Structure 1
Amino acid sequence: MSSNAVTPIVYQLQQGLQQVDFRSLVDGFDLKSLVSGLDIKTFSWIALIVVALIFLYEWWTKSYGYDASSLAVSAADYWQGNRDQFTYDPYVRGSRSLEPLTEVLDALANAVKKWESSQENDVRNRSS
């Protein structure tokens, strides 16, 4: 659309706005009467419905899998990087009750790392 086609519309809008009395519009707005006439129960229900609709929309349109996988990978990195710090204490290292726990955490960390590397390979294969 060229500027010549828009010019008559802008001119009419400009002429119409000169005839509008904004002062009477602002003076006629009374916030106190608006708030005093507000029904709290109805307002609460409307606000609750709006928040629920926004939550459902966000829930359906976004995938939170990336956030969960990055959290698992960072936890696995932390465990693998600080494993000796947790198991350095001779009481902890020699404890029969905590030995299976460290083996389980090692296995989980290795599984997460293996899964993450397979995910990265899939993304690279798709992009090439």
Structure 2
Amino acid sequence: MEIVELLPELHMLRFEVGQAYLWRDADGLTLIDSGVAGAGPAVADAILSIGSKPGDLRRVVLTHFHEDHAGGAAEIAAWGGVEVFAHRLDAGVIRGESPAPPPVFTDAPDWERALFES
């Protein structure tokens, strides 16, 4: 994983698939998206590399339910003291309580449809 400092208080975590962001403010750390399931150790290493501790993480904000954005959320929340936020329409999918809606390919480029079908 690559860690890119965008601002002193904002770092991008570039995973093999996708990315997440770490935001540091006076209240602690916020992780925006969580990577795939199993990303917890890499996120913890990233937190340490910016001079913080995993216990400084206060919240995870999930942008949507896709695995590369929300897959690591439960693992990271299990560290304790971490709130997870998601849109109400995504929450059931993220918790595994409901299926994901099918994708909509209206006006989508051909490569996107091919990627989904592979």
Q: Normalization by structure 1: what TM-score?
A: 0.19
Of Structure 1 and Structure 2, the greater helix share is in 1
Greater relative contact order structure (CA < 8 Å, 6+ sep) = 1
Of Structure 1 and Structure 2, the greater strand share is in 2
* Larger Rg computed on CA atoms: 1
